């Protein structure tokens, strides 16, 4: 209950404050009740449910609000929950039921209802795990689940961890790319901002609205860096190799996206950074193993790549949706080409790094080099040893 109140108030209060103070951004005919209802709809959108604002259906999730609400729910779990799995189950189910009540009451659309339910379950479970986590103190899970986890082969666990680390590295690179975009695109952003007529509170609200979509832009940049593509409506397409421009929403942050095709140097340079990190991840994962078969060394990149692609697909689903009618019925990453490009960058690089770090491979190389060294030393010794001529023996 406390986590539910924390997260809802975190969203409703800024929306109500903006509706009360602003004179240009929000319709002044809205009263306190309608503003609170709009804030509750935005809160549902942050949990994956589609909403309707001013007659426009919106399905694109503001991940910035989701992350802020996750921190608030984590703080609540730290205060009220413990590490036992029964407490976590009660925390998760209570949060889910309290979320379903406004979702059903406000008429969340059916296509996104399943997405919102699954996302809310993961949200509440993640908040409980983060809130009750303590160093060197594991969560108290059911015994069968613990035994099931321990029965997973060790190399699969290492490969799953490597896949998550690779996606974390791609996220870091994408965050740096977005920072460069925002810095270089200051002038285009300022030109778009001049189209708005805003007072100070409305300007602050617009800045906050842009901030909550920065994680979405980071995900789009991740697809762009690894050779994928993303679209903003039916007429705007961005990739490193092809850029198709068209009418964009008057959102200043969108004006920072590069409108030119990247040079081959930039394209290969960005791909090389991601590939080098994937190779380092593969080397680190395999080199820390005491022993590994050749089949394990080859299989680990496939499992790690599958985990990375699964996380990337989940990110694509969370950062794609509708922001308006007509041409804006879909914005986000193009799914299959982006996943294919990501696989071509990560899996071969992880395999090369794993082979380079494998003790089995190094052991065979050392044996071969040792044999060659011994053969060379034997040959040199035979060549350096003088052969004494045989002296004929006298016969008596």
Supply the mean pLDDT for the chain: 87
Q: How high is the pLDDT of residue 52?
A: 83
Mean pLDDT within 48-74: 92
Q: Which residues contact 82 (CB under 8 A, 6 or more apart)?
A: 132
Rounded CA separation 297/73 (Å): 40
Mean pLDDT within 143-171: 92
Does the pLDDT of residue 382 top 80, yes or no?
Answer: no
Rounded CA separation 347/316 (Å): 19
Q: How high is the pLDDT of residue 91?
A: 95
Q: How high is the pLDDT of residue 137?
A: 74
Q: How confident is the model at residue 364 (pLDDT cuts 50, 70, 90)?
A: low
Residue 382 tokens, joined: 């035979």
Give the strand pairing for 237-239 and 243-244. antiparallel
- This prediction's pTM: 0.88
Place of tokens 């899996």: 347
Q: What is the percent of the chain with per-residue pLDDT over 70, rounded to a whole number?
A: 87
DSSP structure string for 51-77: EEETTEEE----HHHHHHHHHHHHHHH
Q: How confident is the model at residue 394 (pLDDT cuts 50, 70, 90)?
A: very low
Mean pLDDT within 155-179: 95
Rounded CA separation 279/354 (Å): 7
Q: How high is the pLDDT of residue 391?
A: 46
Residue 59 tokens, joined: 């399905």
Mean pLDDT within 281-297: 83
Rounded CA separation 156/306 (Å): 11
Q: How high is the pLDDT of residue 393?
A: 45
């Amino acid at each position: 209950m406390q986590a539910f109140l924390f997260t809802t108030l975190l969203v409703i209060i800024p929306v109500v404050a903006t509706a009360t103070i602003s004179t240009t951004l929000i319709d002044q005919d809205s009263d306190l009740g309608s503003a609170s209802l709009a804030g509750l709809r935005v809160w549902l959108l942050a949990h994956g449910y589609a909403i309707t604002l001013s007659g426009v259906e919106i399905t694109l999730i503001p991940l910035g609000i989701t992350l802020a609400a996750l921190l608030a729910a984590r703080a609540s779990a730290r205060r009220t929950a413990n590490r036992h799995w029964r407490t976590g189950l009660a925390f998760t189910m209570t949060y889910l039921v309290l979320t379903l009540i406004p979702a059903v009451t406000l008429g969340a659309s059916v296509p996104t209802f399943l997405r919102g339910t699954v996302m809310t379950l993961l949200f509440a479970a993640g908040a409980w795990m983060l809130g009750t986590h303590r160093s060197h103190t594991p969560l108290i899970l059911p015994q069968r689940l613990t035994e099931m986890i321990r029965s997973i082969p060790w190399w699969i666990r290492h490969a799953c961890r490597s896949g998550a680390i690779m996606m974390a590295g791609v996220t870091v690179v994408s965050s740096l790319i977005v920072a460069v975009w925002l810095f270089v695109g200051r002038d285009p952003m300022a030109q778009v901002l001049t189209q708005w007529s805003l007072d100070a509170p409305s300007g602050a609200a617009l800045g906050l609205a842009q901030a909550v979509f920065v994680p979405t832009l980071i995900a789009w940049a991740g697809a762009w860096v690894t050779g994928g593509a993303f679209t903003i409506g039916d007429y705007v397409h961005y990739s490193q190799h092809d850029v198709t421009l068209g009418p964009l929403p008057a959102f200043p942050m969108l004006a920072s996206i590069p409108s030119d095709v990247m040079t081959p140097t930039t394209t290969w340079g960005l791909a090389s950074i991601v590939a080098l990190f994937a190779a380092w991840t593969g080397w680190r994962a395999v080199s820390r193993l005491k022993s590994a078969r050749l089949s394990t060394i080859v299989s680990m990149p496939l499992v790690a790549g599958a985990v990375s692609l699964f996380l990337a697909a989940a990110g694509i689903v969370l950062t794609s949706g509708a922001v308006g009618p007509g041409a804006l019925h879909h914005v986000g990453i193009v799914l299959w080409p982006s996943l294919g490009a990501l696989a071509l960058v990560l899996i071969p690089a992880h395999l090369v790094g794993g082979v380079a770090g494998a003790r089995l491979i190094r052991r065979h190389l050392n044996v071969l080099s040792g044999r060659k060294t011994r053969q060379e030393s034997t040959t040199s010794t035979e060549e350096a040893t003088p052969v004494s001529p045989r002296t004929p023996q006298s016969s008596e």
